[in-house]
Structure 1
């Protein structure tokens, strides 16, 4: 079982919460890449954004605490 969050009596799935964290981290990473100047080297920028999101989300899911086996 994946841990759910209880916000004011409303249960939010843990994976959904991680999606929002990954989106904010992706936006921050893209801004850093733009400031540094590395982002202009990529030909397919939307594909790079998707890849960064997928990597961040996978890392967050890997470290999500689980209950049970």
Structure 2
């Protein structure tokens, strides 16, 4: 089970925290792709953005138990 984050007595679900981390990583990845010019090769950019987020989110959820942050 993924541990909830407690900030000042407010519980934030662990999966939401992972989603925010994945969103930041996806934005950074997409900016890197656009700076290198690779992003122009994709025909449908919104689909690439969504797929990048889903892949990063899935990787974070899959490898979370290896970090010891889950109970």
Alignment of 1:49-64 (within 5 A): 49-64=49-64
Partner residue in 2 for 1:30: 30
Normalization by structure 2: what TM-score?
0.88
Two-structure CA RMSD over aligned residues (Å): 0.9
Equivalents in 1 of 2:9, 2:39: separation in Å? 42
Moved >4 Å (runs of 4+): none
* Unaligned stretches of 5+ residues in structure 2: none
* Unaligned stretches of 5+ residues in structure 1: none
Equivalents in 2 of 1:7, 1:63: separation in Å? 24
Partner residue in 2 for 1:18: 18
Normalization by structure 1: what TM-score?
0.90
